[in-house]
Amino acid sequence: MIQQVELPEKMYRVIEHRARKYLDTVTGKIHIAPMPDGIRKGGLFGAGITAAVAFMKGSCHMSYTTIQQFFKELIRLDVSRGMLCKATQKVSLSLQPAYQQLGERLPQEPRIGIDETGHHDDGKLHWTWCFDTPDYSLFRIDKSRGCEVLEKMLGKNFAGLICADYWGAYRKYARLFDARMQYCMAHLIREICFLAEHSIKKLSRWGHCLLEWLKKMFKTLHCRDKLTAKGFLRSLGQIKEGFLSRMRRPPDHTLAKKLARRFRDVAAEDYFRFTTEPGVEPTNNNTERQIRPVVIDRRITQGTRGDAGMRWCERIWTILATCKKQDRNVFDFIRHTLLAHWTNKRYPLFL
């Protein structure tokens, strides 16, 4: 027996909906029965094909021209770019409640990883912010890369832990609102590697010595299961003190002194919270992985051309990342959300 999967001859069907006409025998007026909301609001494209357009545009990074070619060559249906654009905007509007729900939940999270990357809208530089939690990832496009975005999204009384790099906006937010931080060790290692590869010998020796301490730390982290709880914490504490002792005795060079100055204040503890708080990751790698598809989309599409495009991007990126985390089918979520939006029924939500 051989099973073979094949495409159907015709990949779409046209459903005609007719409204009945009724004659009022008293007044002589003709009354036309209203169409169901799901049909009237959908227009030419039904929920399934509208969700497919959004999936191709958002998940597959396809341009409207490529989607138009796909419809023409495979589905054998001629559609205009304007119709495809309207379809994505219908999906964008339907995704707003789910996106808003995640935004309202964000200030209550115990741990959030945050990162940002550039975004061009109509040729002007904006920033895509990623707020990553274990259950969902939320994206926000803003003109600013500063602390005001964090204040807008997290509020002034955020009680959780933020894992991020050492960018000034995070330091300012922590200073103004007494937020707890875990600065990314991976970014620190890159800075130290730069010094270790420097042509000046004293900088290179200092950098290599710091890297040795960090190697011992990560080796201990990987051997956690082989150690007792007390032994594990004792080893990390000893390595931490050894690293800080060497870090605070930099060679006589501007680059070394600038890095060492960072560890003379509260930032020293903000780099090592993972050694004392269970569940805290030492790096921000998870957030950077979430933001990678955004960078791919930016290179393919070259950005957006207005507010509607930016809102579409941040909503669809949020839905794609969150569905992946929750092991949910993206296409089904978009389709059910669209039907709920058209028929005024309960929306599928993430929380």
Residues 150-164 pLDDT 10s: 999 999 999 999 999
The reported pLDDT for the residue numbered 23 is 87
The reported pLDDT for the residue numbered 266 is 64
pLDDT in tens, 73-130: 999 999 999 999 999 999 999 999 999 999 999 999 999 999 999 999 999 999 999 9
pLDDT band at 265 (very low <50, low <70, confident <90, very high): low
Q: How far is CA 335 from CA 42, 48, 71, 104, 222, in A?
A: 12, 6, 19, 23, 43
d(CA 299, CA 12): 32
pLDDT band at 307 (very low <50, low <70, confident <90, very high): very high
69 has a pLDDT exceeding 70: yes
How high does pLDDT run on average in the chain?
93
Give, in degrees to the nearest 5, the angle at Cα 247 between 246 and 253: 110
pLDDT in tens, 15-48: 888 888 898 888 989 998 888 888 888 889 999 9
Beta-carbon contacts of 4 under 8 Å, excluding residues fewer than 6 positions away, are none
What is the SS3 assignment for 330? helix
Beta-carbon contacts of 44 under 8 Å, excluding residues fewer than 6 positions away, are 83
Q: How many residues are present in the chain?
A: 351
d(CA 272, CA 220): 14
